Amino acid sequence: MEQLQNEIKKRRTFAIISHPDAGKTTLTEKLLLYGGAIHLAGSIKSRKAQRHAVSDWMEIEKQRGISVTSSVLQFDYAGCRINILDTPGHQDFSEDTYRTLMAVDSAVMVIDAAKGIETQTKKLFKVCKQRNIPIFTFVNKLDRFGKAPLDLMTEIENVLGIRAYPMNWPIGIDGQYHGVYDRRKKHIELFAADDSHGQKERASVVFSMNDKDAIAQIDNDVYQTLLGDIDLLDTAGEEWNDEKISHGELTPMFFGSAMTNFGVQNFLEEYLRLAPQPQPHESTEGIVMPDDEKFSAFVFKIQANMNPAHHDRLAFIRICSGKFERNMQVFHIQENKIIKLSQPQQFLAQDRQIIDDAYPGDIVGLFDPGIFGIGDTICDTKNKFKFADFPVFPPERFARVEAKDTMKRKQFIKGITQLTQEGAVQLFEQPGTGMESYIVGTVGQLQFEVLEYRLKNEYNVDIVITMQPFEVARWLEFNDGKEVVPESLRGADRGMFVYDMKNRPVLLLNNEWSLGWISDNNPDIVLHNVPPDK
């Protein structure tokens, strides 16, 4: 028990969220640099041309310069075991990101100092807010011209509706900040020139506000401005409140530059001090505490073919309670079966290693022969509970997808079904079309491109994608439980009648107006925007 509690106390599991280009990848890389997990940061100059940050692993990510999948990175720093879940910044992958956010205990929001709060940050922030997890803010790119720190604080408060508590404050003038004032330690940290282009840790000197000789090195105007700002924050700023921070109502805010390594170490250390250790989870049998000796975990991500050399599939689990041991037997609730967990893996980007044990907060990749689904619970054989369901996102774009070469149909079906199980897309069958073609539903356009790319690269199948004019999907049920078939629906021909992979009837419609018509003309039918039962 004591060992379990010690392991839990050490762990910090979080995601970094941001709008594309705010600096999430660079910051992740720098945290690894300071954590000693890598020795030279990649100095990502042009993300389009040479983007090989450690947390990207799929070919498509390198080619397009975006993060498609959520990677998991683990490293140790100052007695903590850190699990960072990288989330894709592109809006079309928001569903994957939402799932990742189900598996973390806190989030770091990276903001570009010049751009402030951008659209994708807003969306991701909303999901964190729904889960009431603590959110820490890192204002990045302070080496360049940007908005004034006070304006950024106000923007966070106005746009996101959350109060900010600056942990440190930049010293210098806009575009030339060269240090930070640490409000807790009441000291100043001045940074030496960055002569390694951000590849190495940056040297700095630290001195207290009482050290007159050291203070004398700072330009007097800069110093007077700093004193004014500190006074303003102390008198008019938000008060420190642990309770509000733990519920995501107050965000500790840090200033720095991931690229030139300024303020990064300070951020990392304070963050690790304040960020929550693995938290309890709700289940059908009540709250599950992390130090409950009985093991439990849930699947939050499934990914096939991470290593093209082995056509394997991994289910990523987040451990919620107890100790995980290699070859342990667990109960898989959704399949109602006892299974053995062999070949568990952990990650540092491309390097994976087989692990023997893991603790609450850790992410483990399990070899998946096709049995797991997103949101599934596995737990000690003596327990039989289920964790709360994952939110399902209604698809908004639809296309007919078929194999270009009919001889490749078997491969096509295998590939598309596997990618559906990963949760990359949703699959529907139109009665009468057999398995010649499928209707694929996604949340965003880019998912079709990923589908096309992955089917070609991983299954060697070229596909033809024909976009369909629908924007709305509704799962159909009669009030009295009778079977819904096209004939029982007035106006079924106004849309497309299809079945999902669990054989539930679904109607695809052009727009909300058609939906209104169907709803008005079929009073006995209940329309659900997500599958009615899971």
Place of tokens 């751009």: 115
Place of tokens 């991500």: 301
Our finding on whether 251 is near ligand GDP (CB under 6 A) is: no
- Cβ nearer to ligand GDP, comparing 138 with 475: 138
**According to CB under 6 A, which one of 15, 44, 461, 484 is a site residue for ligand GDP?**
44
Q: Degrees (nearest 5) of the Cα angle 207, 210, 213?
A: 70
- Cβ nearer to ligand GDP, comparing 115 with 456: 115
Rounded CA separation 333/340 (Å): 13
88: annotated binding-site residue? yes
22: annotated binding-site residue? yes
Rounded CA separation 73/256 (Å): 22
- Which range of residues in 96-104, 127-135, 253-261, 513-521 is near ligand GDP by CB under 6 A? 253-261
Our finding on whether 62 is near ligand GDP (CB under 6 A) is: no
Asked whether 497 and 522 are in contact (CB, 8 A), the reply is no
Q: Please, what is the minimum distance in Å from the beta carbon of residue 47 to ligand GDP? A: 5
**According to CB under 6 A, which one of 24, 99, 301, 318 is a site residue for ligand GDP?**
24
Our finding on whether 47 is near ligand GDP (CB under 6 A) is: yes
Would you put residue 491 in left (φ > 0), alpha (ψ -120 to 50) or beta? left
Our finding on whether 68 is near ligand GDP (CB under 6 A) is: no
Residues binding ligand GDP: number (CB under 6 A): 19
Task: Say which DSSP state 101 is in.
Answer: H
Our finding on whether 115 is near ligand GDP (CB under 6 A) is: no
Token couple for 476? 């159909």
528: annotated binding-site residue? no
Q: Please, what is the minimum distance in Å from the beta carbon of residue 439 to ligand GDP? A: 32
Our finding on whether 20 is near ligand GDP (CB under 6 A) is: yes
Task: Say which DSSP state 515 is in.
Answer: H
Q: Please, what is the minimum distance in Å from the beta carbon of residue 55 to ligand GDP? A: 9
Our finding on whether 89 is near ligand GDP (CB under 6 A) is: yes
- Cβ nearer to ligand GDP, comparing 138 with 412: 138
Q: Please, what is the minimum distance in Å from the beta carbon of residue 395 to ligand GDP? A: 26
- Cβ nearer to ligand GDP, comparing 14 with 387: 14
Q: 451 to each of 33, 100, 418, how far by Cα in Å?
A: 34, 20, 11
Our finding on whether 172 is near ligand GDP (CB under 6 A) is: no
H or E stretch at 124: helix 119-131
Asked whether 423 and 96 are in contact (CB, 8 A), the reply is yes
Our finding on whether 146 is near ligand GDP (CB under 6 A) is: no
Q: 112 to each of 48, 129, 143, 365, 474, how far by Cα in Å?
A: 18, 20, 11, 32, 39
- Cβ nearer to ligand GDP, comparing 194 with 376: 194
Rounded CA separation 454/202 (Å): 40
Q: Assign 268 to helix, strand or coil.
A: helix
Q: Which amino acid is at 512?
A: E
225: annotated binding-site residue? no
19: annotated binding-site residue? yes
- Cβ nearer to ligand GDP, comparing 198 with 375: 198
Rounded CA separation 465/440 (Å): 9
- Which range of residues in 238-246, 247-255, 258-266, 518-526 is near ligand GDP by CB under 6 A? 258-266
**According to CB under 6 A, which one of 13, 140, 321, 346 is a site residue for ligand GDP?**
140
Q: Which residues pair with 17 in a beta bridge?
A: 109
Our finding on whether 258 is near ligand GDP (CB under 6 A) is: yes
433: annotated binding-site residue? no
Rounded CA separation 52/86 (Å): 14
Q: 357 to each of 293, 322, 323, 341, 445, how far by Cα in Å?
A: 14, 11, 7, 11, 40
Our finding on whether 422 is near ligand GDP (CB under 6 A) is: no
**According to CB under 6 A, which one of 61, 92, 95, 143 is a site residue for ligand GDP?**
143
Q: Please, what is the minimum distance in Å from the beta carbon of residue 96 to ligand GDP? A: 15
231: annotated binding-site residue? no
Positive/negative CA dihedral, 288, 291, 294, 300? positive
**According to CB under 6 A, which one of 22, 82, 164, 245 is a site residue for ligand GDP?**
22
Quick one: three-class SS letters along 308-348?
A: CCCCCEEEEEEEEECCEECCCEEEECCCCEEEECCCCEEEE
- Cβ nearer to ligand GDP, comparing 44 with 463: 44
**According to CB under 6 A, which one of 71, 121, 257, 522 is a site residue for ligand GDP?**
257
Our finding on whether 179 is near ligand GDP (CB under 6 A) is: no
Q: Which residues pair with 163 in a beta bridge?
A: 250
Rounded CA separation 296/332 (Å): 10
Residues in touch with ligand GDP (CB under 6 A): 18, 20-26, 44, 47, 89, 140-141, 143-144, 257-260
Q: Residues annotated as binding site? A: 18-25, 86-90, 140-143
Q: Binding-site residues for GTP, please?
A: 18-25, 86-90, 140-143
